[in-house]
Amino acid sequence: MIDHGLDLAVIGNGRTAALVDPCARLVWWCYPRFDGDPIFCRLLSGDQEKGFSDVVLDDMAEFHSEYVRNTAIVSTVLTDRHGAKVRITDFAPRFRQFERVFRPPQLYRIIEPIGGLPRITLRVRPTCEYGKPLPHRSLGSNHIRYSNDSTVIRLTADAPLSLIDSEAPFMLTRPLHLVFGPDEPFTGDLQKSCRDFVERTHDYWMDWVRRLSISYDWQEAIIRAAITLKLSNFDETGGVIAAHTTSIPEAPSSGRTWDYRYCWLRDAYFVVQALNRIGATRTMEEFISFTLSIASKPDQELRPLYSVVPTTSIEERTAPHLAGYRGDGPVRIGNAAVDQLQNDSYGSVILAAMPLFFDRRLPRPGDEGLFKLLESLGHRAAQKAFEPDAGIWEYRGRQRIHTHSAAMCWAGCQRLAAIAARLGLEPRAKYWNSIAEPIHAELLDRAWNQKRGAFTAAFGSDDLDASVLLLADLGVVEVDDPRFSSTVAAMERELVREKHVMRYASADDFGMPVTAFLICRFWLIDALWSLRRRDAARDLFNDALKHRNRYGLLSEDVDPQTGVLWGNFPQTYSMAGLILSAMRLSRSWEDRYWRG
């Protein structure tokens, strides 16, 4: 079995989220929202035993951990060498109540003896200010309050508080219930509330999944990826973050440690596509609204990324009290890419808004007012199509005219023509076609490298780049254009490593890349499928599924030699890519049932 490295599950409720390891240790929890201060930071604390909560079973011999089917609830069973067993159920409550979705910034943990007489120790070691242990704690009748001058967390429990406080072992003879969250009294009966909340949360997710529209093949993988996308959606604003972590290196000792707990505008195109394909239209609409609210100020340049609350500063700094994942730092808070020029953002927002004009399922269709807003972005896209930028991979030390950025600018203008035609605005359709056509002609001419036999990363460059695999999907070239098939062949020849696909194979600001970017494999799979190389695409996809961790999740990167996952986790890009490829490759229900 592949050593996945990041063998973690994510639990959450659209307001808060945490990562759990296979032994039921809570190793990462940002509070009170996705980009908040990590109360549990063990994932990034190196050799220091701080920032976690766990259940230590004496003489533990085995563990088994999995998601409860079709939910965001994790069930873990620990077994000692005498056969005594403990089941730990972890979740964040999410369910409908009073015509609203109940989703407090809380984590719930139920600990039950299910065999023998297990002896356990409950350890709770919260942190604040990115790695400092919370210095003060006080015990009440049924809670422990952990605090400093600016942070307060309350653990409400029917477990023996003095034994938690002293980390003393005890025999588990009855179910225990723990709730982590704000410093507020827990109203009602704790045991009854926990039981009720887990059942209602279970029912919520089962109902959410049953409403998805998915294909016949790879359903389990699609469902898990869909739930993960939903867990990355911040309900209050509609933003979808790139990942729940910061600073998990793209590769060991690489210095490539970035904070991904934010919303990238370019992700909107891929995430909206994935959500639309599976029928998660409400989440899709919320994310479109989030991007459009950002883009609604025509006098402001678009930034590549925003916090889930867009006005929040995400200036980059380092966290001196965290050693990093496996001691590999630095740990960064915020992301300097916020100040980069990334011209693809304008096209990404326009493409993300397309369903509002073409998808009849949506209750609030796009109108002429929204079209005018998008036109302001289109003018920027046309202006910036051939201006140098940092590109999709966010180079920190150079700018070029990147093929993908130019392609997204063209796509934005071309889609505006299609939207105008849809709205019956023929003069505007003619106008935007007149803008798009010369951009298209120049893009094809300058991006094609005859010597390399491929569309390359940037105009005048010999470097190959996996992002050009999207050119056919965007409509820049036809699938049967020999230049596209030649480009795909060049990618297979030079960027594939052990079936994984590198973003690029030339040195960047941090040297030569050594890990592959998981979304790039899905782009290659889609390209092979469009070229009617169906068996090759399916083989590559089935192999990709083997690299998910035990919970069915993917990070950003993978070591081609070892199969170990690296990069921030779980990665929205990767999960969206999995959904799109699976839906494209799958047999239809009709093929399965009526044609064999």
Same CATH topology for 9-208 and 217-594: the answer is no
Q: Judge contact between 86 and 78, C-beta under 8 A.
A: yes
Domain ranges, ordered by start, for the chain: 9-208, 217-594
Q: Model confidence over 493-544: pLDDT tens digits?
A: 999 999 999 999 998 888 999 999 999 999 999 999 999 999 999 999 999 9
> Tokens representing 232?
């990355």
Residues near 548 by Cβ (< 8 Å), separated by ≥ 6? 4, 221, 554
Give the pLDDT of residue 147: 96
**pLDDT attached to residue 5:** 77
pLDDT (mean) for 207-212: 97
Q: Which residues are bridge partners to 89 per DSSP?
A: 75, 110
Q: What are the tens digits of pLDDT across the range 330-383?
A: 999 999 999 999 999 999 999 999 999 999 999 999 999 999 999 999 999 999
pLDDT at 106 over 50: yes
Tell me: the pLDDT tens digits for 124-146? Answer: 999 999 999 999 999 999 999 99
Distance CA 487, CA 306 (A): 33
What CATH number has the domain spanning 9-208?
2.70.98.10
Look at residue 4 in the predicted model and tell me its pLDDT: 58
Tokens of 455: 């569309």
Contacts for 590 with CB less than 8 Å, ≥ 6 apart: none
> Distance from CA of residue 268 to its chain's centroid?
12
Average pLDDT estimate for 51-64: 98
What does the DSSP 8-state code read for residue 186?
A: P
Band the pLDDT of 329: cuts 50, 70, 90: very high
Residue 1 — pLDDT band, cuts 50, 70, 90?
Answer: very low
3-state SS assignment for residue 247? coil
Do the Cβ atoms of 345 and 394 come closer than 8 Å?
Answer: no
pLDDT at 123: 98
Q: Is the pLDDT of residue 169 over 50?
A: yes
Averaged pLDDT for residues 570-579 = 97
Average pLDDT score over residue span 295-313: 91
- In sequence order, the 6+-apart residues with CB closer than 8 A to the CB of 497 are 516, 560, 561
Q: Which of the four pLDDT bands, split at 50, 70 and 90, describes residue 421?
A: very high
| Whether the predicted pLDDT of 596 surpasses 60 | no
pLDDT at residue 241 is higher than 60: yes
pLDDT value for 187: 86
Q: What is the pLDDT of residue 171?
A: 98
Least confident of 295-299, 305-309, 459-463: 295-299
3 pLDDT higher than 80: no
Q: Whole-angstrom Cα distance, residue 126 to residue 43?
A: 13
Per the CB < 8 A criterion, the answer to whether 31 and 39 are in contact is yes
Residue 269 pLDDT: 87
Residue type at 176 in one-letter notation: L
Average pLDDT, the chain: 95
pTM of the model: 0.96
For domain 217-594, give the CATH number: 1.50.10.10
